[in-house]
Chain A
Amino acid sequence: MEKRYFNPKIELISKEELRALQLKRLKRLLNKVYKKVPHYRKKFEEAGVKPSDLKTLEDIRHFPFTTKEDLFVDYPFGLLSEPLEKVVRLHTSSGTTGKPKALFFSKRDVMAQAELIARSLVMSGATSKDILQNSMTYGLFTGALVMHYGAELLGMLVIPAGPGNTERQIELMKTFGTTCIHMTPSYALYVASVILEKGLKPGKDLKLKRAYLGAEPYTEETRRKIEEMLKIEVFNCYGLSEMGGPGVGFECPAKKGLHIWEDAFLVEIVNPENGEPVKPGEIGELVLTSLNREAMPLIRYRTRDLTHFILEPCSCGRTHIRIARILGRADDMFIVRGVNIFPQQIEAVLMGIKGVAQNYQIILEGYDEMVVKVEFDRDFFDGRIERLLKLKEEITEKLRQAIQVRPKVELVEPGTLPVSEGKAKRVIDKRTL
């Protein structure tokens, strides 16, 4: 297949040039926020750093993080680094309590984010001939509007459907020959099931080719399921309002991780506990600096999302770094015998073992003991206890290798653990300290 790029010069930029560009933008950014944003100046001073201390990209680790809490200091305009008259767009993101996070964008910011989307859409194979049905929420949420602008920049026909009203969604798809959809994975599953219930034949009655699914974490299994149901390709996309919404991370046709456009973002992965960089390829919290944002740039923003770098060069030719699909939230981390562990590390090991079913539970008890309850596959049981003992041994050993702590593994019957849902309680801490 012919490889196409929206902006080949920047997408195929050499690593050296990319680093030089990042350094140039980062220096400019630090100077700007130091000068124009009192809160940043205060934070830098407290940390004992000045913008001129940054000589290399690595020096960024001496600069303070920005957290969700910082967004509420001098709220709502306190972190603006441009006068309000330059701001053209407000988006908000629901906080867990009270006020929503308020994010501002200049005209240049809106167009710059649109370009990131356009690059990503072309990366997935889309062209100006495609028709995008945008079924995310239009409004204060970034999801729909930011995608909308990007798709228009590419020249796609955009159907601003918004979410819900599944009957109408399917009618729109049929009437206008929608080729691409943008929605949440859970809604895509629902829409797909309704399409099949109606007896519609994807590929015949519908012209769908691609789905861009994001705004909530999902698994490879869910991707495969939707791809199979609708006979389409599903591309995982990642974004957060603080970084401009969708278009931050996007999959290429290799579908092995999400590229982050590094001319726009400085990407770090740190240990959520102490903020130190993790070893290359290790799981940690994604930290982003918006290098190219004009109105409200954020320095070292703690996303609380867990992922790891994929370091091998990508077959698509793009030099921009890849991260694994979001594995969960940094708040899920727990410590056993001094080792930081994420449920996602355990899940990754378990899902790679034949004979293991979907559900598991981690119980911390006694003197720092870790018990992992694992459901085995019903079909795996052939009546022989030896087979179960081998499975248990395999799980124990592979977990020990992955997390450096030897857990006590208990095999339990399928269907006996609480069903896994997005936010299933995977870790039960009974330790008393």
Chain B
Amino acid sequence: MEAVPVLSIFAENKPGKLEKITEVLASEGINILGFSIISVKDFGVIKFLVDKPERAYQKFKERGFTVAKVLCLGVELEDRPGGLYEIVKLISSKGINIESALVYVAETRKKAYFVFEVENLEEAWQKLKDEKVNFLKASDFINE
């Protein structure tokens, strides 16, 4: 299965929280490839696709953050009008519900991936693996 790890960090809605989180990545020389923020009133979850996920996970843990690794699927997007639409249409046609998503721009104006989280990864993979799409591989971006 071509699944990729995304870090998910719990964050109370307080000023400075995102700053503290990104500071960890900056000080450890970890590159953020894509991110998303979901917020519900008093708390939120911040997700990162990074080039050193294992190192980032350990560092977040060490510094007392509440962090989890979530395996996601990444599908290449075509850089043209309707690119995202085509991919989302494909996913929904298989009855797969996207729980969260972020975009990873691998090469500016050339190559991007739609990285999304589903409830049942294995099932989603089985439904999508034979489609004519390019999956993001962990080896494409992980550098540790």
* Interface size of A as a range: 10 to 19
Contact of B29 with A by CB under 8 A: no
- Looking at B40-48, B80-88, B106-114, the stretch in contact with chain A turns out to be B40-48
B64 neighbours in A (Cβ, 8 Å): 415
Question: What distance in Å separates the Cβ of A410 from its nearest Cβ neighbour in chain B?
Answer: 5
Which residues of A from 375 to 420 have beta carbons under 8 Å from B?
A: 378, 381-386, 388-389, 410-416
A388 to B8, CA, bound (A): 13
Contact of B134 with A by CB under 8 A: no
B42 neighbours in A (Cβ, 8 Å): 410-411
Contact of B130 with A by CB under 8 A: no
Which residues of B from 30 to 87 have beta carbons under 8 Å from A?
A: 38, 40, 42-45, 47, 64-70
| CB closest chain-B residue, reference A383 | B8
A414 to B42, CA, bound (A): 15
Contact of B116 with A by CB under 8 A: no
Residue of A381, A413, A414 near B68 (CB, 8 A) is: A381
Contact of B125 with A by CB under 8 A: no
Residue of A384, A388, A411, A415 near B70 (CB, 8 A) is: A384
A386 to B70, CA, bound (A): 13
A389 neighbours in B (Cβ, 8 Å): 40
Question: What distance in Å separates the Cβ of A301 from its nearest Cβ neighbour in chain B?
Answer: 45
Residue of B6, B8, B12, B99 near A412 (CB, 8 A) is: B12
* Contact indicator B43/A383 (Cβ below 8 Å): no
* Contact indicator B68/A388 (Cβ below 8 Å): no
* Contact indicator A383/B68 (Cβ below 8 Å): yes
| CB closest chain-A residue, reference B38 | A385
A413 to B8, CA, bound (A): 14
Interface string of A353-386 (1 = CB under 8 A from B): 0000000000000000000000000100111111
B12 neighbours in A (Cβ, 8 Å): 412-413, 416
* Contact indicator A382/B68 (Cβ below 8 Å): yes
A388 to B9, CA, bound (A): 12
A382 neighbours in B (Cβ, 8 Å): 8, 68, 70
Question: What distance in Å separates the Cβ of A371 from its nearest Cβ neighbour in chain B?
Answer: 10
Residue of B43, B67, B99 near A388 (CB, 8 A) is: B43
| CB closest chain-B residue, reference A416 | B12
Contact A385:B100 (CB < 8 A) given known A410-B42, A413-B10, A413-B12 = yes
* Contact indicator A411/B43 (Cβ below 8 Å): yes
* Contact indicator A383/B40 (Cβ below 8 Å): no
A412 neighbours in B (Cβ, 8 Å): 12, 43
B47 neighbours in A (Cβ, 8 Å): 383
A19 to B21, CA, bound (A): 66
Which of A388, A411, A413 has the most chain B CB within a 10 Å cutoff?
A: A413
* Contact indicator A413/B66 (Cβ below 8 Å): yes
* Contact indicator B99/A384 (Cβ below 8 Å): yes
A410 neighbours in B (Cβ, 8 Å): 42-43
Instruction: Identify 13 residue pairs between A and B in the complex whose beta-carbon atoms are under 8 Å apart, listed by A's number.
Output: A381-B66, A381-B68, A382-B8, A383-B8, A383-B47, A383-B69, A383-B70, A384-B117, A388-B10, A388-B43, A413-B10, A413-B65, A416-B12
A-B residue pairs, 8 tightest by C-beta: A383-B8, A383-B68, A383-B70, A385-B45, A413-B66, A381-B66, A410-B42, A382-B68
B interface residues with partner A (beta carbon < 8 Å):
6-8, 10, 12, 38, 40, 42-45, 47, 64-70, 99-100, 117
